């Protein structure tokens, strides 16, 4: 009988991930195989931070636990039962599961660790996203107000005037005119005097109120303008229709210009990335897009626009240097990039206030007066240095080419000292002013050269 054979039943707490040991294996071999397949973590770790419950990750399941196919939902699902975590996950017993479940949980853990590391060490792109434009009140949006055509209240006025005259004529309050039929009532004819009673006064008063409401609601709205209607501080709508209209006479009307407008800014003093003071003038093309936010969401939209122009210009000008003469690269002199960046940033800042920015164009980009002269000299020096570098490079190439051609033409090979001296003299002749002469050294004799035969 082989005493090394393990005849004890195998536990069912976890499946065997490794193959069965061969016949005759020792107890040590079986123990090592069993330790490899046994899970090291039998309980779910408690939730320590918000990343384990966030929409992009899921709590860690027990390694070796069974995974229900119904629980495999996309990351970010809102079903809390599908992701047990915390004390509840620790209290639930571990069920048998295939080995690939541990690999899946490892991927989940990697995503959580990555998110935690990103939160602990934000990058430059993440830091840039923290600066966001102000949020607008989503409930405050422009909507159409109730308005009627202007000819309806005019008809009401005419009908009211005719009705009032008829009532007064029936009461005998109007004088008799020749050629006009007698419209007096029976009581007025019998008495011979005007019979103005309570009914007549009530009818005339009602007609007068109707005519007053029709007249008070008349509104003349020209093109390019709107009327923002409010009542007791509450927004009631915006009238964009032009012409003669009628609106509720009990509302307050505010005129808002929605035409396309342009504004030439005053000289704005900013600094570039190198700290050099600049003076910039801009041309902004804008218009009012949301009259409700412009009227009720901000105190003065024009003042807000001016302040945002200065803030955006200061922030954008500090990203790049004004000129890039010495170091090639992007600069603020690139008008297209500068204009596009200003337009994008200013449009994002003014959109919550109901202002739409079409374009921001730099009209002038100059150095401040206190540094203008020194920067001009520096720019000329940079240009002169660059030009000299180009000239010297060309002269060196021309001298080297001349030396090579001279050696090829004379069939003499010079040593390094003679070649250097000749190049020096050629450089002096190319670069120095006129009048400087250079002597060409005699070529060195080539060793092993036969007489009478060219090299």
pLDDT of residue 120: 45
Helix, strand, coil percent content, the chain, rounded in steps of 5: 45, 15, 40
pLDDT of residue 426: 79
User: Would you say residue 2 has pLDDT above 80?
Assistant: no
**In this predicted model, what pLDDT tens digit does every residue of 7-27 receive, in sequence order?**
444 445 444 444 555 555 555
Torsion of CA 339, 342, 343, 345, to 10 degrees: 160
Residue 413 lies in domain = 384-455
433 lies in a domain?
A: yes
Domain boundary at 241, 257, 273, which? 257
Assigned token pair, 236? 């009631």
Question: Do residues 293 and 137 lie in contact, with contact meaning Cβ atoms separated by under 8 Å?
Answer: yes
* Residue 26 CB neighbour total at 10 angstroms: 11
- Indicate whether 170 and 80 sit together in one domain: no
What is the maximum span of the chain, computed from C-alpha positions, in angstroms? 161
66 lies in a domain?
A: yes
**Hey, which residues does 256 pair with through a beta bridge?**
226
**In this predicted model, what pLDDT tens digit does every residue of 151-165 receive, in sequence order?**
999 999 999 999 888
* Mean pLDDT, all residues of the chain: 72
- Indicate whether 172 and 110 sit together in one domain: no
Burial of 203 (0-12, 13-18, 19+ CB in 10 A): middle
- Indicate whether 152 and 252 sit together in one domain: yes
- Indicate whether 225 and 282 sit together in one domain: no
Number of compact structural domains in the chain: 4
User: Would you say residue 273 has pLDDT above 80?
Assistant: yes
2 lies in a domain?
A: no
pLDDT of residue 32: 55
Q: By percentage, how much of the chain surpasses pLDDT 70?
A: 58
- Indicate whether 59 and 93 sit together in one domain: yes
- Indicate whether 156 and 217 sit together in one domain: yes
Domain holding 324: CATH number? Answer: 3.30.479.30
pLDDT of residue 374: 78
User: Would you say residue 129 has pLDDT above 60?
Assistant: no
**Hey, which residues does 359 pair with through a beta bridge?**
285
402 lies in a domain?
A: yes
Q: By percentage, how much of the chain surpasses pLDDT 90?
A: 30
303 lies in a domain?
A: yes
Assigned token pair, 332? 């603020």
- Indicate whether 244 and 277 sit together in one domain: no
Please give, one letter per residue, the 3-state secondary structure of 210-268.
HHHHHHHCEEEECCCEEEEEEECCEEEEEECCCEEEECCCCCEEEEEECCCEEEECCCE
Contacts of 98 (CB under 8 A, 6+ apart): 15, 67
> Whole-angstrom Cα distance, residue 272 to residue 318?
4
> Whole-angstrom Cα distance, residue 346 to residue 308?
7
Q: Of the segments 109-123, 125-139, 266-280, 441-455, which one has the largest average pLDDT value?
A: 266-280
- Indicate whether 94 and 163 sit together in one domain: no
């Amino acid at each position: 009988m082989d005493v090394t054979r393990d005849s004890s039943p195998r536990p069912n707490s976890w499946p065997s991930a490794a193959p069965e040991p061969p016949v005759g294996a020792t107890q040590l071999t079986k123990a090592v195989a069993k330790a490899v397949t046994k899970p090291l973590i039998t309980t779910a770790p408690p939730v320590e931070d918000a990343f384990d419950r966030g929409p992009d990750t899921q709590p860690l399941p027990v390694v070796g636990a069974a995974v229900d196919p119904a629980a495999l939902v996309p990351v970010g699902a809102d079903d809390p039962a599908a992701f047990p975590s915390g004390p509840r996950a620790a209290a639930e017993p571990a069920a048998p599961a295939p080995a690939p479940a541990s690999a899946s949980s490892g991927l989940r853990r990697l995503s959580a660790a990555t998110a935690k590391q990103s939160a602990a060490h934000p990058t430059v792109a993440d830091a840039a996203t923290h600066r966001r434009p102000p949020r607008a009140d989503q409930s405050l949006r422009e909507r159409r107000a109730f308005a009627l055509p202007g000819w309806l209240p005019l008809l009401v006025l005419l009908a009211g005037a005719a009705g009032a005259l008829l009532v007064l004529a029936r009461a005998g309050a109007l004088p008799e005119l020749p050629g006009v039929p007698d419209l007096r009532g029976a009581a007025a004819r019998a008495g011979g005097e005007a019979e103005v009673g309570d009914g007549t006064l009530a009818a005339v008063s009602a007609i007068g109120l109707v005519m007053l409401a029709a007249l008070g609601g008349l509104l003349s709205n020209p093109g390019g303008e709107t009327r923002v209607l409010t009542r007791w501080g509450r927004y009631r709508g915006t009238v964009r229709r032009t012409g003669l209209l009628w609106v509720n006479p009990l509302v307050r009307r505010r005129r808002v210009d929605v035409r396309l407008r342009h504004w030439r800014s005053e000289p704005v003093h900013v600094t570039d990335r190198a700290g050099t003071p600049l003076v910039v003038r801009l041309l902004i093309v804008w218009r009012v897009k949301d009259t409700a936010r412009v009227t009720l969401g901000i105190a003065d939209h024009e003042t807000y626009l001016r302040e945002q122009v200065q803030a955006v210009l200061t922030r954008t000008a500090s990203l790049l240097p004004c000129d890039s003469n010495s170091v090639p690269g992007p600069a603020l002199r690139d008008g297209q990039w500068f204009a596009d960046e200003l337009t994008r940033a200013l449009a994002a800042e003014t959109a919550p206030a109901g202002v739409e920015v079409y374009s921001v164009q730099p009209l002038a980009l100059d150095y401040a007066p206190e540094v203008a002269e020194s920067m001009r000299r520096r720019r000329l020096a940079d240009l002169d240095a660059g030009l000299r570098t180009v000239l010297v490079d060309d002269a060196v190439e021309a001298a080297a080419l001349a030396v090579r051609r001279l050696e090829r033409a004379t069939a003499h090979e010079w040593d390094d000292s003679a070649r250097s001296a000749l190049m020096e003299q050629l450089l002096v002749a190319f670069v120095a002013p006129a009048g400087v002469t250079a002597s060409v050294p005699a070529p060195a004799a080539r060793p092993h050269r036969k007489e009478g035969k060219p090299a």
